[in-house]
Amino acid sequence: MDNTELKKLKVLSAKIRIDVLKMLEKRGYGHLGGSLSIVEVLSVLYGKQMKYDPKNPNAEDRDMLVLSKGHAGPGWYSTLANVGFIEKEMLYTLNDGGTKLPSHPDRTKTPGVDMTTGSLGQGTSAAAGIATGFRMKKSDQNVYLIVGDGELNEGQCWEAFQYIAHNKLNNCIVLIDDNKKQLDGPTCEICNPFNIADKMRAFGFKTYEVKGDDEEAISNAIDLCKSEKDCAVCIVLDSIKGQGVPFFEEMDANHSVKFNTDEILNATHEAIEKLEAFVKEGE
């Protein structure tokens, strides 16, 4: 990846992060931590790796994304707005009555959303089914599955992983957001996942480990996954809940944040200002 392409992805990451902060501040609350931890992977998917057409969201040959950790919908919505699926003004309708942007993604409401998610664990099975359909059609399409580390408490994930590995569905690229925290605290305290990459390898996946905020490393790992022809593939993202905003990275209860104190609001505005300056410099 040359410097120009990398800079473009970093600018897209900044734009996504800005819109997550703005839309959640406008709402007054929301799933901040897990939305910010997947910003860079969303930037890489929509800025480089995925095949899609925002003017034709239902194009037959499109790649698909399943955001199994559906509470991170604000991160996805911000991405869809920045690549042209929806108008940015729509972001400020998050969770409103009658909105096209519900708290968790709904494929019947939002252009660009191919799978409804929110019941943790079920997205893995959905992605496995989509990949099977692509295989049956002899299509070169890929489905990208973003699943949370806390979500891996669900046994359904491991049933689906076993199916994906057994059938060598290399067209289902599994991206695990290992941000090490879930709703009630650190994953190691709630239900210790131990070494996720080792577990995926034991299940039969060719598994890569990268920093979750490194666009170039994420893109290179996806390229490696696409080159595998005879096995299931997985990327474990070493990420941070609240990623990209130090104040929220250090906040203990950052799964869902209420924007109701001067400290939180000031940190939000400071982060937006810095990110907007980065975007201005990069464009």
Domain boundaries, the chain: 3-282
Task: Quote the pLDDT of residue 283.
Answer: 84
- Measure CA of the first residue to CA of the last residue in the chain; give whole Å: 18
pTM, full prediction:
0.97
Distance CA 27, CA 49 (A): 31
What is the average pLDDT value for the chain, to the nearest integer?
97
- The predicted-structure confidence for 188-208, as pLDDT tens digits, reads as follows 999 999 999 999 999 999 999
Task: Quote the pLDDT of residue 1.
Answer: 87
Task: Quote the pLDDT of residue 30.
Answer: 97
CATH no., domain 3-282: 3.40.50.970
Task: Quote the pLDDT of residue 230.
Answer: 94
- The predicted-structure confidence for 124-154, as pLDDT tens digits, reads as follows 999 999 999 999 999 999 999 999 999 999 9
Q: Of 101, 168, 83, which Cα lies nearest the Cα of 132?
A: 168
Residues 6+ apart with CB under 8 A from 86: 77, 80, 100, 101, 110, 111, 112
Task: Quote the pLDDT of residue 52.
Answer: 98
Which residues of the chain are under the pLDDT cut of 50?
Answer: none
* DSSP for residue 256: S
Task: Quote the pLDDT of residue 210.
Answer: 98
